[in-house]
């Protein structure tokens, strides 16, 4: 595993030097990926944080936004307690740099807190001021990963629909699969045209993961027109995850050779390869502009 990791690190470092600009010389934008699920408790927060850490190990510059309106979780897993959040940036009290938490591997965490619901009521000039504050982050980040709350509230839906890419997480349990289908159906109803990446978490083995993913894919292709669902990968059910959560440590760092960490590394390397194949990153400003306009419709 380690030589594979070293190779990837070297590759991504090399590619990054070329990647500040695309081939036509245009500025590169941050790729925004929202992680969502129908059912709660399927592993979104653990997945988002650990995927971010793996991407950072591969040389990517990663931002994570904790957009869970309920109990924010990323900070709990990291054992940190943010004093300020997006609310203080939106109302002009703080700069974005003042609220960012430095995580392991150089990742940066933006606590959403009450700022998430605040986005619904932004006036034009407040939005402009907020977007301006995001400009510096754009230059410093390759990915923004967004951890959402459970369910399909208007807020979760807006944070999801505005993304460059969506990762839907489910476990192989029928209730979780049904709720994942419900979420994908809602995205489809709202005319989301991007790729939806499916991750099966807590699979007993890869076969169980594949069976569950294929079940969902078959139903989606039968009933939802123009829905691009890609089976992205599987994370195995692994005791290392709850054990690390209890220690308030990301499992990738607490147990880097665990089965769950293995799954995360292989998805992160898949993402790194795709980043340079496609150019679908629209950036932070575009993302938050879309969210605010979705709230107003
Ligand atoms: N691959 C895994 N193997 C074993 N346990 C896991 C795995 N992934 C997550 N868990 C456990 O599942 C529980 C829920 O995980 P997590 O908080 O990441 O889910 P969530 O989808 O963010 O929940 P919520 O919807 O409440 O925000 C945690 O106790 C975690 O330890
Ligand atoms: Mg969560």
Q: What is the distance in A from the centroid of ligand 2 to the CA of 147?
A: 7
Average of per-residue pLDDT across 91-98: 91
Q: What CA–CA distance (Å, rounded) separates 245 from 79?
A: 10
The chain-wide mean pLDDT, for the chain, equals 88
pLDDT score, position 72: 63
Could you report the per-residue pLDDT of 247-267, keeping only the tens digit for each?
999 999 999 999 999 999 999
Q: How confident is the model at residue 18 (pLDDT cuts 50, 70, 90)?
A: very low
Q: What CA–CA distance (Å, rounded) separates 260 from 188?
A: 30
pLDDT score, position 14: 47
Could you report the per-residue pLDDT of 73-84, keeping only the tens digit for each?
888 888 888 999
Q: What is the distance in A from the centroid of ligand 1 to the CA of 49?
A: 11
Residue owning tokens 């931002």? 63
Does residue 250 sit in helix, strand or coil?
coil
91-100, 127-136, 167-176, 248-257: segment of lowest average pLDDT: 127-136
Q: How many helices (H) and strands (E) does the chain have?
A: 14, 8
Report residues whose beta carbon is within 6 angstroms of any ligand 1 atom.
37, 40-46, 68, 73, 149-150, 201-202, 235, 237-238, 241-242, 245, 260
Q: Of the residues 42, 43, 49, 247, which should be mutated to test ligand 1's pocket, given the most ligand atoms within 8 Å of the CB?
A: 43
Distances (CA, A) of 182 to 85, 142, 185, 249: 31, 30, 5, 32
Dihedral of alpha carbons 103, 122, 290, 192, sign: positive
Total-model pTM: 0.91
Does residue 215 sit in helix, strand or coil?
helix
Q: How confident is the model at residue 276 (pLDDT cuts 50, 70, 90)?
A: low
Q: What CA–CA distance (Å, rounded) separates 174 from 168?
A: 15
Q: Which atom of ligand 1 is closest in space to residue 201's alpha carbon?
A: 1
Which domains are seen in the chain, by residue range?
31-296 (3.40.50.300)
Q: What is the distance in A from the centroid of ligand 1 to the CA of 33?
A: 19
Residue nearest to atom 29 of ligand 1 (CA): 242
The DSSP bridge partners found for residue 108 are 63, 102
pLDDT score, position 279: 53
| Cross-sheet strand order for the sheet of 101-102 | 101-102, 108-111, 62-66, 143-147, 31-36, 165-170, 195-203, 228-236
Could you report the per-residue pLDDT of 221-248, keeping only the tens digit for each?
999 988 999 999 999 999 999 999 999 9
Q: What is the distance in A from the centroid of ligand 1 to the CA of 150?
A: 11
Q: What is the distance in A from the centroid of ligand 1 to the CA of 178?
A: 18
Q: Which ligand is nearest to the CA of 51?
A: 1
Q: Which ligand is nearest to the CA of 252?
A: 1
pLDDT score, position 75: 87
Higher-confidence residue of 165 and 121: namely: 165
For ligand 2, a single-atom ion, the residues with CB < 5 A are 44-45, 73
Higher-confidence residue of 104 and 28: namely: 104
Higher-confidence residue of 210 and 297: namely: 210
- Cβ–Cβ under 8 Å, residues 99 and 92: no
């Amino acid at each position: 595993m380690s030589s594979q990791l070293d190779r990837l690190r070297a590759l991504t470092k090399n590619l990054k030097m070329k990647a500040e600009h695309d081939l036509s010389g245009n500025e590169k934008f941050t790729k925004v990926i929202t992680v969502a699920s129908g059912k709660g408790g399927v592993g979104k927060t653990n997945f988002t944080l650990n995927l971010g850490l793996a991407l950072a190990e591969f040389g990517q510059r990663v931002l994570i936004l904790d957009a869970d309106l309920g109990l924010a979780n990323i900070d709990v897993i990291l054992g940190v307690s943010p004093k300020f959040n997006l609310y203080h940036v939106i109302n002009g009290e703080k700069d974005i740099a003042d609220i960012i938490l430095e995580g392991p591997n150089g990742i940066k965490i933006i606590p959403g807190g009450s700022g998430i619901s605040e986005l619904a009521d932004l006036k034009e000039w407040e939005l402009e001021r907020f977007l301006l504050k995001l400009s510096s982050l754009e230059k410093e980040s390759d990915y923004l990963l967004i951890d959402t709350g459970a369910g399909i509230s208007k807020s979760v839906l807006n944070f999801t629909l505005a993304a460059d890419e969506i990762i839907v997480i489910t476990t192989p349990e029928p209730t979780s699969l049904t709720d994942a289908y419900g979420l994908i159906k809602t995205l489809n109803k709202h005319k989301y045209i991007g790729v939806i990446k499916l991750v099966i978490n807590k699979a007993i083995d890869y076969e169980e993961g594949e069976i569950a993913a294929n079940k969902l894919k078959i139903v989606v292709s039968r009933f939802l027109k123009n829905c691009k669902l890609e089976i992205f990968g599987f994370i195995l059910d692994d005791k290392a995850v709850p054990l690390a959560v209890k220690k308030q440590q990301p499992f990738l760092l607490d147990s880097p050779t665990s089965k769950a960490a293995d799954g995360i590394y292989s998805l992160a390397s898949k993402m790194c390869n795709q980043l340079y194949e496609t150019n679908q990153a629209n950036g932070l400003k575009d993302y938050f502009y879309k969210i605010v306009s979705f709230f107003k419709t």
